[in-house]
Structure 1
Amino acid sequence: MDIDWAALGEVFGVSLVMTVALVGLFTVGIVGLSPKTDPEGAEGAEGAAVTETAPSALARTGAYVCFTLCAAAVAYGIYLIVK
């Protein structure tokens, strides 16, 4: 039995790149949906409340696009496995 080391290395490289890309894309989506804190509200007395603002419409849209791309990549991977 012979092992095709070039093909094995290619599979390893592609899987490594895609894993890093998907994790990065998902992280950008999470950051886009997270509430933003007001740094000026954090200053002041010890017990001062920190104000949080909801993400903008552009940030939410970008986050949803990131999640959609992640889902599409996962679905394509499953398609390739089942095919």
Structure 2
Amino acid sequence: MHIDWAALGSVFGVSLAVTVGLVGLFTLGIVGLSKRATATGEAGTASAGGPTALARSGAYLCFALCAAAVAYGIFLIVS
């Protein structure tokens, strides 16, 4: 029995990079949805609102890319 250590290391590196990338992308989506627009109110206090349209659309894009990556992974497993 012979183990191809170079191929095993390559698979490990790629899977680690893709996992960290997907988690980072999902985290950016969560941050985009939780971002609050601040505006100065009375006495310098900040009133918090919902996420801006740009942050919300960026978050949805991050989630869509995550879903596409998962769908592609399922496609590769099934095919």
Provide the TM-score with structure 1 as the length reference: 0.80
User: Cα RMSD (Å) of the superposition?
Assistant: 2.2
Code of the residue aligned with 2:2 in structure 1: it is D
- In 1, the alpha carbon distance for the partners of 2:35 and 2:24 equals 19
Structure 1 position 82 matched with structure 2 position 78: yes
Equivalent position of 1:20 in the other structure: 20
- Structure 1 partner of 2:53: 57
Give the Cα separation in 2 of the matches to 1:61 and 1:18.
Answer: 23
Give the unaligned 5+ runs of structure 2: none
Q: Which runs of 4+ in 1 moved over 4 A?
A: none
In 1: Cα distance, 2:48 partner to 2:18 partner: 34
SS of the equivalent of 2:51 reads coil
Out of 65, 68, 73, which is 1:69 matched to? 65
Given that 1:35 and 1:52 are in contact with CA atoms closer than 8 Å, whether structure 2 keeps it comes out as no
SS of residue paired to 1:36: coil
Please state whether the residue corresponding to 1:78 is helix, strand or coil.
helix
Normalised to the residue count of structure 2, the TM-score between the two structures is 0.83
Name the stretch that deviates more: 55-64 or 29-38: 29-38
Q: 1:59, CA displacement in angstroms?
A: 0.5
Displacement of 1:52 after TM fit? 2.2
Aligned length: 78
